Amino acid sequence: MNKYMGFFELKALNVPSVPWDTFTSDTVLDKELLWTIRVATAAGNDLNLPRAVGVDSEEAQARGMELLREYGEKGIVIYYPYFIAEKSGVLDINSQRLVIEAVDKDLWNLVTYGRKDVTVIVPADGGTQMTGDGRFLTPDEISELMRYGAVIRGRFRGEISGGTSVLAEWSYAYNTDIRRKPVGQRYLVFYELRGLSVL
């Protein structure tokens, strides 16, 4: 499963996911919000694809049109309201265990800079191992992430039993206004789902 399929799977699963929509030449974006524009290709390498994150509606519209011209025939261009992450991480789900990795603020801190505040390992046979700051995630947050990990594991049971590991990227986040100030209640959101073959 690549990002393209992952976007559709997240939308279909009963997990909280970004309210994305397909960008078209007719898309009109709310000027009071910041936006994220992303690309997902139907085939081929889908890592490090271009995107615009946290940009105003004018820039998002221009970037969306540019990406639509370049990638429209090879996949989809999607958009959704920008959010600010309080905590982020990945769920790494395979047949042996669930691993929750978490970092302060944006996922970029984990995947680009290698920072990690806590790792929680939940073997399939029970028990929990934790390394790092044991207070970084609350027990309720761990339970919530484990619950959605079980939903994802159930949906991809066949692939996982065949040796695939499924990665789900998540954040506890806030919506944001045009000045990048958090607004509203904090919420959990999943925004990427993909499978990795285990060698």
Q: Using the CB atoms, write b or e for 28-55: b if 16+ within 10 Å.
A: ebeeebbbbbbbbbeeeebeebeebeeb
* Rounded mean pLDDT, 75-81: 92
Whether residue 77 sits in one domain with residue 62 = yes
Residue 92's CATH number: 3.30.470.20
In a domain, 191, yes or no: no
- Do 92 and 78 share a domain, yes or no? no
**Per the domain annotation, does 181 fall within a domain?**
no
Query: Which pLDDT value is given to residue 197?
Result: 64
Query: How far is 175 from 27, CA to CA, in rounded Å?
Result: 20
Residue 59 phi/psi, 5-degree rounding, is -65, -40
Both 89 and 167 in one domain: the answer is yes
199, pLDDT greater than 70: no
Shared-domain flag, residues 22 and 93: no
Across the chain, what does the average pLDDT equal?
90
Number of domains into which the chain is organized: 2
Shared domain for 57 and 73, answered yes or no, is yes
Is 197 part of any domain? no
**Whole-prediction pTM:** 0.84
Q: Are the C-beta atoms of 88 and 102 separated by less than 8 Å?
A: yes
**Residue type at 174?**
Y
The whole-number pLDDT of residue 41 equals 81
CA 175-19-94 angle, 5° bins = 105
Task: For residue 111, tell me if it sits in a domain.
Answer: yes
Task: For residues 68 and 118, state if they share a domain.
Answer: no
User: Residue for token digits 């997240």?
Assistant: 10
Q: Are residues 22 and 65 in the same domain?
A: yes
Domain containing residue 22: 3-83
Percent of the chain surpassing pLDDT 90: 64
